Amino acid sequence: MYKYVLKRLLMMIPVLLGVTFLVYFILALSPGDPVRMILGEQASEESVQMLREELGLNDPIPVRYVRYLGGLLQGDLGTSYKNQLPVAPQVLERFPNTLILAMSGMLVALLVGTPLGILSAKKQYTLLDNATTVLGLVGVAMPTFWLGLLLVLLFSLHLGWFPSSGMGEGIGPLLKSLVLPAATLGTSCTASVMRMTRSSMLEVLRQDYIDTARAKGLKEGYITLHHMLKNALVPIVTVAGLQFGMLLGGSALTETIFSWPGLGRFMVDSIKSKDMPMVLGSAVFLAVVYSVVNLLVDILYAYIDPRIKSQYKK
């Protein structure tokens, strides 16, 4: 097991190299000069030259890339082009906010998606099943940004229950400000979790050991939780893990609508202004987090299914 984890951790090194390589060259080769983006339409030629020199942009791209990697090896994520502040603290300041939002979104998804999935699997082809399927599809299809605004209109403007935007300070206000963004973010994930739970449960539902359990006289609820769900859990956890990883990096829209000071919005802003160190810093950081989440999911398999655990030992 430890060997397996170690192997996976080592595999993160080529992954990170690949991420930095791709992001660096895509940004460096895309049209538009970062210096002119930063200084705007009215910059004088002297200022442009001055800043380009200051940021080291006169060197060839491969040289800059190697220099960046050199810094990265020493844990230096560089300095932002735009505000001249070190990148690492800015990324770290925003990451917890994204984490809180992603976890709440995931919680909503699991809380709603799993029970609905179980229910619709057990009542396959009934009205309930069809209704949840339709709801699920609507959830996936609904644009985040539209749903977010609708929720704000109803719950902030008309009912006044929750703040329309921002991140509250202190536990109470924080939870209150979390409800709408988490619901928005969770909706699309809910659908995937629900669909996966349903199909995975359906596979287990007709196994012989379920009939055996029933024949033993076990209660249906116990069978559902301990015999069906436990065996159906691996694909659900896989989907949930992937979704969670996506939420961490891909919640930029939700963060923008709700003015949530998270990493996704920050990254999009940085891409727009071609602030390479900021984009790279966030991308590297997110790649690490994503890899770790995936690793955790894989480790979780071992606890869910002992058969997989025995495989890790090899």
Partner 1 sequence: MKRVLAVALSLFLMLALAACGGGSGSVAPEGDDGTSTAAPAGGASEAAPAGGDEKDTLTWVQGADVTSLDPHVGKETPAVMVTCNIFDTLLGKDENGHPTPCLAESWESVDELTWTFKLRQDVTFHDGTPMTSADVKFSLERAIASAFVSYVVDFIDTVTADDEYTVTIKTKSPYGPILANLAVPFTAIVPKAAVEADEDAFVVNPIGTGAFKFVEWKQGDSIKLEANENYWGGAPATKNLVMRVVPEAAQRLIALENGETDLAYEIGPNDLSKVRDHANLELLEAPSLSVFYLTLNTQNAPFDNVKVRQAIRYAIDKPLIVDSMLYGSGEPADATIPPAAFGYSARSKVYDYNLELAKELMEEAGYADGFTCELSVNDNPTRVEICQVVQSQLKEIGINVEIQVLEFGSWIDQLGTGEHEMSFTGWTCSTADADYSYYSLFHSSQTGYPGNDAFLMDPKVDELVEKGRESANGDERQAAYDELEEYLGDLTPYTPIYYSNVNVGASSKVQNFVVDVNGYHRLHGVSVAG
CB nearer to partner 1: give 129 or 250. Answer: 250
The contact set with partner 1 (CB under 8 A) reads 30-34, 36-48, 50-51, 54, 82-85, 90, 93-94, 97, 107, 111, 149, 152-153, 156-157, 160-173, 175-179, 225, 256-259, 261-262, 265-266, 269, 274, 303
CB nearer to partner 1: give 93 or 203. Answer: 93
Cα 67 to Cα 38, 60, 140, 247, 294: the distances in Å are 22, 11, 43, 31, 30
CB of 169 vs partner 1, minimal distance in Å: 7
CB nearer to partner 1: give 8 or 52. Answer: 52
CB nearer to partner 1: give 127 or 157. Answer: 157
CB of 132 vs partner 1, minimal distance in Å: 20
CB of 193 vs partner 1, minimal distance in Å: 14
CB of 144 vs partner 1, minimal distance in Å: 12
CB of 157 vs partner 1, minimal distance in Å: 6
Is 231:201 a contact under the CB 8 Å cutoff? no
Q: Could you write out the DSSP letters of every residue in the chain?
A: -HHHHHHHHHHHHHHHHHHHHHHHHHHHHSSS-HHHHHH-TT--HHHHHHHHHHTTTTS-HHHHHHHHHHHHHTT---B-TTT-SBHHHHHHHHHHHHHHHHHHHHHHHHHHHHHHHHHHHHTTTSHHHHHHHHHHHHHHHS-HHHHHHHHIIIIIIIS--S-SSS--SSHHHHHHHHHHHHHHHHHHHHHHHHHHHHHHHHHHHT-HHHHHHHHTT--HHHIIIIIIIHHHHHHHHHHHHHHHHHHHHH-HHHHHHTT---HHHHHHHHHHTT-HHHHHHHHHHHHHHHHHHHHHHHHHHHHH-HHHHHHHT-
Q: What would you report as the CA-atom Rg of the chain, rounded to the nearest whole angstrom?
A: 24
CB of 76 vs partner 1, minimal distance in Å: 15
Residue among 266, 234, 258 nearest 85 (CA)? 266
CB nearer to partner 1: give 66 or 222. Answer: 222
CB nearer to partner 1: give 42 or 74. Answer: 42
CB nearer to partner 1: give 139 or 262. Answer: 262
CB of 165 vs partner 1, minimal distance in Å: 5
CB nearer to partner 1: give 14 or 40. Answer: 40
CB of 34 vs partner 1, minimal distance in Å: 8
